[in-house]
Amino acid sequence: MSIRSRVGTLPAHEPFLLAGEWIPAGDRARREVIDPATQEVLTTVADATAADVDAAVAAAVAAHADRRWRGMAPLDRARILNRVADLIEADLEELAILETRDNGKPIERSRADTASAARTFRHFAGAPSRLGGSVIPIDGGAHHVYTVLEPIGPVAIILPWNFPIMTAAFKLAPALAAGCPVIAKPAEDTPLTLLRLARILQEAGVPDGVVSVLTGDGEVGAALSAHPGIAKISFTGSTEVGRLVAHAAADDFTRVTLELGGKSPNIVFEDADLDAAVLTAMRASFGHSGQMCTAGSRLLVQRSILEEMTERLAAAVRRVPVGDGLDGGITVGPLVSEEQRQRVLRYIEKGIGEGATLVAGGGTREPGFYVEPTLFSGVTNDMTIAREEIFGPVVGIIAFDDEADAVRIANDTRYGLAAGVWTRDLSRAHRMAAAIDAGTVWINTYNVFDPALSFGGVGESGLGRDLGDEGLLGFCEPKSVVIAI
């Protein structure tokens, strides 16, 4: 039964959070937030100004200097982060509905993402009391030497529109655990769950000035990226924008973590469990309408099973449920915007024009920003649809001959975010995991994440890692102390 019939009307305007105060639009420019399934206006948000950015950074710098957060006892910071997790879980259904209305994804996906956000805060709540250094003997006792880990300072996090609440937690939780003040900038299309999360942070007891959330367009992100008061930028988004962030940060040697694009290979060998491979390929390729940086959009199939797999995949694609994410039981909801839909349709036209065979899908439906799940066969790795990140429900089948050929094709990309391998041969699985240039390789599964496991890519898929110990340490600055005895 659809949830849409019982969702309420949102306020006409949502203010943003600046150093503990909720700021209405006033004379600032406003932008509409659109429901991708109905194309209706949900609410409006303001474009934060350059002065707002300066004020938020000044508040973060002050919070870092007076130690109101980093100077708090580690167990007290942990208690607040656990409280954030409790409040997310208590409000899980409403947060999930808001995420689906804001973003278009199926409600089941939104519930899972919201639960993941709570798990992430709970995981990193355990970090403050274990962020210690070590004692290092260097010269037989003439000096007492130890290291400490200190919070890096004010952090700017710039978020994508595909997983608003989950990626916010991926960055906010470790940054706050490390003791850093944070300024968060949501994607202009999907600000609503982050604004709701900001209220949860306040309710949980995060002190004023430690977290600000500034809505707006790319100018807000650009101002944060170039601001000399920011010590670290953590960005998730396209490779093109990530490059701009890195260039802006370089002038002040601001640290950056960049989680960028992908063109992930999902590789099926002839000895694989084909039922499982097909089922998971549907989720890996079409989950959240393919709007995932890890989407397995290059489906590499061993030539000996190519015909069988193509038939299986075509039948599966035609059965993928498409519709309003609030209806339940949906795999492919609308894309986030009309602009994104037109981008995806151009790639479909490009695939046909370059000689790939359109096996299924390729159409649209109204109202809403829908593109049908689309399957191409006869794709070669030099085609545009195999080279560029589409960020839509489009997958291309690429044939390979043997293990070496699969590795060659998989690594023939400027990206290196993730990969999947399907085989019953354990030795082959380990060989492939070692040979593929990617930050994560899944064997006989796909898109498995956990806050304890670091996530990020190589090549043009980014720099640094979110999550895990690596992600936490990215918000820390090591200091060595040497004392003459």
> Rounded to an integer, what distance in angstroms lies between the CA atom of residue 352 and that of residue 366?
23
> Rounded to an integer, what distance in angstroms lies between the CA atom of residue 467 and that of residue 473?
9
* Residue 180 annotated among the catalytic residues of the structure: no
Question: Does residue 266 sit in helix, strand or coil?
Answer: strand
391 CB-contact burial (10 Å; exposed 0-12 / middle 13-18 / buried 19+): buried
* Residue 259 annotated among the catalytic residues of the structure: yes
What is the pLDDT, as a whole number, of residue 80? 99
Of the candidates 14, 99, 259, 460, the residue annotated as catalytic is: 259
Pairing of strands 418-422, 265-268: parallel
Q: What is the mean pLDDT of each run of 10 residues along the chain (485 residues)?
A: 87 98 97 97 98 99 99 98 99 98 98 99 98 95 97 99 99 99 98 99 99 98 98 98 98 98 99 99 97 98 99 98 96 98 99 99 97 99 99 99 99 99 99 99 98 98 98 98 97
Angle at 177 between CA 418 and CA 196, to 5 degrees: 80
Helix (H) or strand (E) holding 51: helix 50-66
What is the pLDDT, as a whole number, of residue 1? 62
What is the pLDDT, as a whole number, of residue 283? 96
What is the pLDDT, as a whole number, of residue 398? 99
Of the candidates 14, 180, 293, 460, the residue annotated as catalytic is: 293
411 CB-contact burial (10 Å; exposed 0-12 / middle 13-18 / buried 19+): middle
> Rounded to an integer, what distance in angstroms lies between the CA atom of residue 149 and that of residue 131?
7
Give the CA diameter of the chain.
76
> Domains (ranges, CATH) in the chain?
3-260+461-484 (3.40.605.10), 265-443 (3.40.309.10)
